[in-house]
Amino acid sequence: MNTPTNLQIINGPDGAPAFVVIPYADYVASHPREDLVPNEVVGLMVKEGLTPAGAWRRHLGLSQQEVADRIGISQPAYAQQEQAAKPRKATREKIAEAFGIAPALLDL
């Protein structure tokens, strides 16, 4: 069957297929939306040196106090967690729930 596709195959130095390129729209349509990280979040991490939690919070337009209230801790306690390079798993899960995202998105 010769079904036309929008795929592009790129061969490696040895001539064997190494990469497959698909149109971005096809990728987004076939990829779970909850696994995608907005460009703004990455930009905040790179340009401003924010942690993933800080970048997501800013992207979502939330204050530290709002997030702290959602997870039931004080604002200074949340600020400390947001600055941690790698918060504990339970903490990441609570923050992710407050943001409405998958916990894995805080593991960037």
d(CA 101, CA 62): 14
pLDDT at 93: 96
For the chain, the maximum distance between any two Cα atoms, rounded to a whole number of angstroms, is 62
The full DSSP string for 19-76 is EEE--HHHHHHHS-GGGPPPHHHHHHHHHH---HHHHHHHHTT--HHHHHHHHTS-HH
Threshold 0.95, pTM exceeds? no
For the chain, what are the domain ranges? Answer: 35-106
CA atoms within 13 A on the CB side of 24: 1
pLDDT at 77: 96
pLDDT at 1: 45
Segment-wise mean pLDDT, segments of 10 residues, the chain, 108 residues: 72 93 83 79 96 97 98 97 92 96 90
pLDDT at 2: 55
CATH tag, 35-106: 1.10.260.40
pLDDT at 25: 82
d(CA 41, CA 106): 11
